[in-house]
Amino acid sequence: MSGIHDRRGRAWPTPVIASLLTLACAIVAAVAASTAAAELTRGPTPAELERASLGELARRWRSWPAGRIFPGTVGYAAEQGGRESALRVGISPETRCDRAVDAALRGALRRAGCRGILRATYIDGLQGVVVTVGVAAFGTEQGATVAEAALPRGGLPAPGLRALAFPGTVTDRFGQDERQGGLARRAGPYLVLATFGQVDGRPARAAGIQRPTVFSFAGDIADRILADLATPARPDCASGEWRC
């Protein structure tokens, strides 16, 4: 009969063998349980925290409320000195990339991996200048860089972000022909665009020589929005907002 034998060739009793096998299985199970418990109870590694932070940042354009992305008021340095506040007039419910930019720019954004563009319109403290701001979200930081390179140089408004007017407000005469300039800011997977003009509906070709400082607050708005969106936050793995 085959079985387990000691060094002298004597067979071990079956109950002893069973006990040894049971003990071995118990040890293996205990080690496995200990390893699993250690894995479940350990804190996240630095690499896991970094991935969670970058993932949360990339989702903000979809997970944050629109009012958090576009604050109701944004402070800026006034042309005449002191501080003023730009007022948000409205936010577009449309998020498709091709609806937010001129036709000549759509192909470049599509190739760069544009996932969506959110738009809102602001007026300055004196209610003479209107600014449309767009948050373009990309799958990667490289995509945002490629898209930025496709924009016109020298602050030209076109091809670029399309003006967003709201009927019945002081912005209702701000259309595509009234865009007098544009700018862009980039950080992480986001590209913040802005286009601006005057609330009187004056076409860009009839605006004459402009003082750059009249529209400088558009850069302050873009910088504020981009800083909020693209600044990494410390992961809170206990919160449902994070995936650690």
For residue range 87-143, what is the model confidence (pLDDT) as tens digits? Answer: 999 999 999 999 999 999 999 999 999 999 999 999 999 999 999 999 999 999 999
Strand partners, 198: 129
DSSP structural state of residue 151? S
- Say how far apart CA 28 and CA 20 lie, in whole Å: 12
Quick one: average pLDDT of 147-167? 96
Between CA 167 and CA 178 the distance in angstroms is 15
- Report the SS3 class of residue 13: coil
Mean per-residue pLDDT, 212-232: 92
pLDDT in tens, 40-96: 555 577 676 667 767 899 999 999 999 999 999 999 988 778 899 999 999 999 999
Above pLDDT 70, what percent of the chain? 72
Q: Give the confidence band of 1 by pLDDT, cuts at 50, 70, 90.
A: very low
Q: What is the number of other CB atoms lying within 10 angstroms of the CB of residue 90?
A: 16
Q: Provide the pLDDT for residue 38.
A: 47
Angle at alpha carbon of residue 7, lines to 3 and 10, rounded to 5°: 50
Mean pLDDT on 159-165: 98
Mean pLDDT value across residues 169-187? 96
pLDDT value at residue 113: 98
